[in-house]
Structure 1
Amino acid sequence: MASLDSVLDKDGVRLTVEDAVATVTLTNAAKRNAQSPALWRALTEAGRSLPGNVRVVVLCGEGKSFSAGLDRQAFSPEGFDGEPSFLDLARGSDEELDAVIAEYQEAFTWWRRSDLVTIAAVQGHAIGAGFQLALACDLRVVSEDVQFAMRETSLGLVPDLTGTHPLTGLVGYARALEICATGRFVHAAEAERIGLANLVVPTGELDGAVRDLAGALLAAPRDAVIETKALLQGAASRTYEDQRVAERAAQARRLRDLAGLGD
């Protein structure tokens, strides 16, 4: 087995790689892994820094909380050091504001790449941006003390870090609206029941459960997993007949590859 190599460690994000598994760790436990533009840029960089052999990415947070959401310093007049405050951003043009938010969203988009399977290991609080970061992953393994909440609406905002699409896909429109509009906590048992969590485990068993899941995901041939993920990702936007066509095309590629007839 290859050694654990540190690829990136900056602005509250650490990326390590061991064989085909990469781990992205939020490292600011003292602030419950509160998020900032610098952290989002580091997350984007982590995605771009993944070696080509990586098949599974695990996302976790140090300390008692996965991520308590946006650092409230973003709303202070001075903002973060070297960064415009959110109040300053609001004074810019529509085009400028749109471009900034799009840049922030990049930290949340690469987790859905078809050549990766991503797992969020979530303990304690996953609030607002923390909730959306967990939703950015394909799968979520959570500890019994987990507390999800989407608090943006309570602050007069909306969830804008790509979380609305996966949330609606997982739990349906009506429940997603209720969760977002009320800002209430969703605890472990409910998260598993409504589809937010793939697995709930005792807090001390979270790391082991994620390792076991990563190992199971690596057992199948990589190209078969990539094709299957792409089929499932596109299913909601295709008709039944279009999905049948997509399945046939994907299977033809796999059969030719297995027969040594692929490109």
Structure 2
Amino acid sequence: MASLDPVLDKDGVRLTVDGATATVTLTNPAKRNAQSPALWRALTQAGRSLPGSVRVVVLRAEGQSFSAGLDRQAFTPEGFDGEPSFIDLARGSDADLDATIAEYQEAFTWWRRSDIVSIAAVQGHAIGAGFQLALACDLRVVADDVQFAMRETSLGLVPDLTGTHPLVGLVGYARALEICATGRFVLAEEAERTGLANLAVPGEQLDAAVGDLAAALLAAPRDAVIETKALLRGAQERSYEEQRSAERASQARRLRDLAGVGE
């Protein structure tokens, strides 16, 4: 990746921008990029800091693991410095607990914004919150050593960082249930075969493969990509006839724009 002055560099998250491409890097390889509320706030800030010129966002991680998931310190009575422990959160009101989880989720929601396409470059372990962060992106390119696992259920919890919706959409209900309820590893071959990964490559080719994909995405006109993404994102919620109507309306906008005719 190019060496660029960071727009943001804090709490294990670095954001750099190179023209129409932004790169968000997890920067705590010593802890296998384990996640914390501070990291989630930094990810949320990264999304808010994107210049309007950015069309593609690459999410990557330093070290051998993409993210080993939630830092286990969260489960200790003391939690993180300056943060309420999970035990403290559980003792709070329903409204406070809901608001806190909603705040955590914000780090995982902006990756599917209509004006960008996000690509997760995933190597090594992507466990729990790490798996859900990869699922937050539109596309995933994985190294051949990738190990996805959803371990929340094994800990008596549920995946709550927005990962359940994309997981079911990608692999179907039955396989998603089996992956979550067993907590087993999903390796590169299965990830590519089942649609979790768009592409699996040798580890040394990961950055190059992501760069090629980003370049291909940037080759198409921005407004056409935005309209196409919106059509595809909404397809599952629309009936066949509603999707036909949405296609007509979208194409009318594109034709008028190309012809220079105002609506």
Fold shared per TM-score above 0.5: yes
CA contact (8 A) 1:3 1:18 kept: no
Q: Secondary structure at the match of 1:120?
A: strand
CA deviation profile, 1:48-71 (whole Å, cap 9, x unmatched)? 000000000000010000000000
Distance in 2, Cα, partners of 1:239 & 1:19? 38
Deviations 1:5-25 (A, max 9, x none): 310000000000001000000
Q: State how far apart, in whole Å, the 1-side matches of 2:24 and 2:159 are.
A: 22
Partner of 1:110: 110
Q: Give the distance between the partners of 1:108 and 1:180, measured in 2 at CA.
A: 18
Aligned 1:220-239 pairs, distance under 5 A: 220-239=220-239
Aligned match of 2:143: 143
Structure 1 consecutive aligned stretches of length 4 or more whose deviation exceeds 2 Å: 2-5
1:124 is aligned with what amino acid?
Answer: G
Counterpart of 2:212 in structure 1 is 212
| Separation in structure 2 between the aligned mates of residue 201 and residue 19 of structure 1, nearest angstrom | 26
Aligned equivalent of 1:52: 52
Unaligned runs of 5+ in 2: none
Residues 1:174 and 2:179 are matched in the alignment:
no
Q: How does 1:1-263 map to 2 (within 5 A)?
A: 4-262=4-262
The amino acid of 1:135's aligned partner reads: L
Alpha-carbon offset, residue 3 of structure 1 = 8.1
| Paired residue secondary structure (1:104) | helix
The number of residue pairs the alignment matches comes to 262
- Taking only the aligned residue pairs, the percentage that are identical comes to 85
- Give RMSD over aligned pairs: 1.0
1:128-154 C-alpha deviation (Å, 9 max, x unpaired) = 000000000000000000000000000
The whole-number CA distance in structure 2 between the counterparts of 1:3 and 1:176 is 38
Q: 1:15 to 1:30 in 2, by over 3 A?
A: same
TM-score, normalised via structure 1 length: 0.98
1:261, distance to aligned residue in structure 2 (A): 1.3
Runs of 5+ consecutive residues of structure 1 not aligned to the other structure:
none
